[in-house]
Amino acid sequence: MVGTAHRSTGVEGVDGGVGVTALLVAAARAIETHRHDSLARDVYAEHFVLAAPASAHWPVRTHQVPEGDANPLWGRFARYFGLRTRVLDDFLLGSVHAGVRQVVLLGAGLDARAYRLDWPAGCVVFEVDREGVLAFKQDVLGALAAVPKAARVPIPVDLREDWTGALGDAGFDPAVPTVWLAEGLLFYLPAAVETRLIDTVDRLSAEGSALAFEVKLEKDLLAYRDSPIYTSTRHQIGIDLLDLFDRQPRPDSAGALSDKGWSTSVHTPFDFARRLGRGPLPEQNDALAGNRWVFADRIRP
């Protein structure tokens, strides 16, 4: 049973920079949850949004959205995050239903997957993110008396630092298969950090492991500065996403994994919107045109 937690302490970790984007995604998930044709449900998302001063005035229901789905931010962009949530939920659940029991969420943000997904018995979910973000998340979920459906292990560390030691100290076992997720993370990191992260995942992944992550095509980072999605985000909530993205030439992480023996596939979000019959489709001056979702399987030791 979910209670009510509209105000909370410990929001410093999510009231600036990339932390505010975690609140943006939470608001999108809240709106998606209340759609009649919802792609994903997260009953905790609205509580994160309402608990942080930076986002307490944002919409969390469809009827609160000016212009409805015609609103580029809370309509189309929010639906994109709903689609991404659904696709990556399916990816994680597919892996654990195939026998994987160790889950690592890199840059876990304010998603509540440990609480909202139906995990098989024996699953352990490691959540790696900055201390302030995880503390805020725990504060809100604690006020709701929320109970995780898997063993949840928070790892408070910045992914730009050495996080492998903290993961191992928390009980992570590199000898067993792992499903890894880096959702909406890599394009905020310096290129060298992304390369190191991918190399680390490869090194810590036993045969049978899987990884999903999101990238942006380098040539598209600035190509759509005047896209309705970016301009609406700047004007409505004061976030310039392009200022948060790292501008260095991006590594070919999908290609690097293929070279290391992983089986990889690369998709556009529109592939899944068409498959599911819901979600954003291509349009003119589209900031989503450069987004790619990468799925990889470790097929050799």
pLDDT, one tens digit for every residue, the chain (301 residues): 355 444 333 444 565 555 899 999 999 999 999 999 999 999 999 999 999 999 999 999 999 998 888 999 999 999 999 999 999 999 999 999 999 999 999 999 999 999 999 999 999 999 999 999 999 999 999 999 999 999 999 999 999 999 999 999 999 999 999 999 999 999 899 999 999 999 999 999 999 999 999 998 877 667 788 999 999 999 999 999 988 988 888 999 999 999 999 999 999 999 999 999 999 999 999 999 999 999 999 986 5
Structural domain that includes position 192:
12-298
Domain count, the chain: 1
**Is 41 part of any domain?**
yes
CA-CA distance, 153 to 166, in Å (whole number)?
11
Q: Does residue 6 fall inside a structural domain?
A: no
Residue 2 falls within a domain, yes or no? no
Domain containing residue 131: CATH number: 3.40.50.150
119 falls within a domain: yes
What are the helix (H) ranges across the chain? 18-33, 45-51, 78-97, 113-116, 131-143, 164-169, 191-204, 228-237, 241-244, 253-259, 269-276
Is there a domain that residue 99 lies in? Answer: yes
In a domain, residue 157? The reply is: yes
Residue 233 tokens, joined: 């985000």
248 in any annotated domain: yes
Identify whether 131 is part of a domain.
yes
Q: SS3 for 181?
A: strand
Helical pair 269-276 and 78-97, crossing angle rounded to 10 deg: 80
